[in-house]
Structure 1
Amino acid sequence: MARWDPDGRTRLQQAALALYSERGYESTTVAQIAERAGLTERTFFRHFADKREVLFFGSDVMQQQLTDAVASAPESASPLEAATAGIEAAAGLLEERGPQVRTRQAVVAASPELQERELTKLAGLASALAETLRGRGVAGPAAALTAEMALAVFKIAVEQWAQGDSKATLVDVIHESLAELTAVTSQQVRR
């Protein structure tokens, strides 16, 4: 096996995703991932802390793209408009890897352990988003509420987009989800 390979991380990610899809996350070992990638277990652990993190590597890039887009939104943008700019930027990253993202979503949906890790990732994104909104002058509770709403829209939109067969972009699905949220919140609550 190769001692060093410049695209080792990518090969490990592709091997893991394929094996998780074929065998299930719980039934796949690090040794199997490394073997499929043509690398050693030691190389695997140089890139990832554990087999779960293969699916979540790059979350920091997504968070940075999201917060940068929120911070650079026009000053006239409402908190929700700024947050939407952030989730649209994050959507761009996912759309670039459409087939892999769809497979990843199915793998995560099939594993309670991975679902928990996904929720942790989304909570981190919401926290960073809220902090960025506060930096734009949005009050604490309003920043947190806006961030949580935006990430809920993002989560639902990604799930729908990943399962869908339509040609709609993820940004289109985000806009549809935001329209649904607006419709729901504009209805009077009946008692």
Structure 2
Amino acid sequence: MARWEPNASQRLADAALELFAERGYENTTVLDIARRAGLAKSTFFRHFRDKREVLFGEDALTERLTTAIAAAPAEAAPLEAVACALDALGRDVFTPARRAFTVRRRAVIEANPDLQEREALKGVRLTASVARALADRGVPGLVARVAAELGALALEIAYGRWNDQDCTEEFGVIARRALGDVQKAASATRGHPGRSR
């Protein structure tokens, strides 16, 4: 086998998702993934620590969000900085070419409670990173945390809408709309008192 294989990381990720869908996550081994991709097991470990990392390699996502927040215009309000980060995800991460992969990834996670828990933990860490990035811009702590939580909710909503089979819009457009929806909903909570019993 050649020492260098083109697109090995993507081939391994695609093979993993195929096998997770066919056999289930628990019944798929790293060796199975490598064989399906036509690569050696050692090649798998050059790209991923374990089979979970195929689904949860989060460093790129976190880095893209925090870098975009840092690069947002100095005068940008906290939620506008978050919007800039969501735009960056649409340009660099959630591209039309990646949609099929993310749809399959989501299906695998939804079929496994342990993976759902890991996804939730990933969301918590991502939100904390966004809050720190906002604080680094001088946003007060509580404001940074609230903006990060609203941004995380918008990201979750946008991700769900973007993964819908009938969706044809770009992620950035969907994410901006989701952020607007979240802001409107937050504003509406001030004007609607709860029912008393």
Summarize the alignment of residues 82-101 of structure 1 with structure 2, pairs less than 5 Å apart.
82-92=81-91, 93-95=93-95, 96-101=97-102
Summarize the alignment of residues 101-120 of structure 1 with structure 2, pairs less than 5 Å apart.
101-120=102-121
Separation of aligned partners in 2, 1:133 and 1:84: 12
Amino acid at match of 2:65: L
Aligned residue number for residue 186 of structure 1: 187
Greater mean deviation of Cα atoms: 3-12 or 121-130: 3-12
Amino acid at match of 1:135: D
Aligned residue number for residue 133 of structure 1: 134
Which whole-Å deviations, capped at 9, do the CAs of 1:17-66 have from their partners, x for residues lacking one? Answer: 11112222222222211110122333323332211111223x22222221
Greater mean deviation of Cα atoms: 146-155 or 38-47: 38-47
Aligned residue number for residue 16 of structure 1: 16
Aligned residue number for residue 163 of structure 1: 164
TM-score (norm 1): 0.89
| Aligned-pair CA distance for 1:9 | 2.3
Q: Give the direction of change, closer, same or farther, for the CA distance of 1:166–1:54 in structure 2 (3 Å limit).
A: closer
Aligned residue number for residue 49 of structure 1: 49
Separation of aligned partners in 2, 1:8 and 1:75: 40
Aligned residue number for residue 67 of structure 2: 68
Aligned residue number for residue 172 of structure 1: 173
Separation of aligned partners in 1, 2:44 and 2:11: 10
Q: Secondary structure at the match of 1:97?
A: helix
Q: Is contact 1:2–1:38 with CA below 8 Å preserved after alignment?
A: no
Separation of aligned partners in 2, 1:77 and 1:164: 34
| Aligned-pair CA distance for 1:73 | 1.1
Separation of aligned partners in 1, 2:38 and 2:73: 48
Amino acid at match of 2:125: G
Q: Secondary structure at the match of 2:163?
A: helix
Aligned residue number for residue 33 of structure 1: 33
The percent of aligned pairs where both chains have the same amino acid is 42
TM-score (norm 2): 0.87
| Aligned-pair CA distance for 1:174 | 1.4
Number of equivalenced pairs: 190
Which whole-Å deviations, capped at 9, do the CAs of 1:79-109 have from their partners, x for residues lacking one? Answer: 0110111122123211241211121122122
Separation of aligned partners in 1, 2:114 and 2:179: 29
Any gaps of 5 or more consecutive residues in structure 2?
A: none
Amino acid at match of 1:99: A
Q: Is contact 2:161–2:167 with CA below 8 Å preserved after alignment?
A: no
Q: Give the direction of change, closer, same or farther, for the CA distance of 1:91–1:124 in structure 2 (3 Å limit).
A: farther
